[in-house]
């Protein structure tokens, strides 16, 4: 797989993870079934746009681990709330996706602790 395909695959996976977590959050907090509420749809669109334009996709793991935070402060807070709520619930909805996310997160933390970050 060439570099561009690898980056696009990673981008798609990140968008899929965001989408899944926002859906879990919206369903649990706003009572939606099929469609997202207006606020969650706006958050999803914002996050997808940022992910599609990310120049660091090749080297970063997740936005939370990135040195450059391109989300506005308000959107960062909203995404953090989504992650805090949906993260633990991912194990029941998409266990494989959740375990992959945990594995990458732990590997990144271990790498950063070796670097003294």
Predicted confidence (pLDDT) per residue in 23-62, tens digit: 999 999 999 999 999 999 999 999 999 999 998 888 877 7
Q: How many domains does the chain have?
A: 1
Predicted confidence (pLDDT) per residue in 56-104, tens digit: 888 877 777 777 888 999 999 999 999 999 999 999 999 999 898 888 8
Distances (CA, A) of 41 to 19, 23, 46, 89, 96: 10, 9, 9, 20, 25
Structural domain harbouring 21: 3-115
Helix residue ranges, H only, the chain: 3-30, 38-53, 73-93, 95-115
């Amino acid at each position: 797989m060439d570099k561009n395909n690898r980056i696009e695959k990673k981008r798609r996976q990140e968008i899929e993870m965001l989408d899944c977590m926002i859906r879990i959050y919206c369903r649990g907090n706003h009572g939606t079934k099929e469609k997202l509420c207006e606020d969650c749809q706006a958050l999803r669109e914002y996050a997808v746009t940022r992910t599609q334009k990310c120049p660091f996709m090749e080297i970063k793991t997740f936005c939370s681990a990135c040195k450059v935070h391109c989300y506005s402060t308000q959107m960062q807070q909203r995404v953090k709330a989504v992650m805090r709520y949906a993260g633990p619930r991912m194990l029941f909805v998409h266990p494989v996706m959740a375990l992959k996310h945990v594995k990458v997160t732990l590997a990144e933390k271990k790498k950063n602790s070796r670097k003294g970050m």
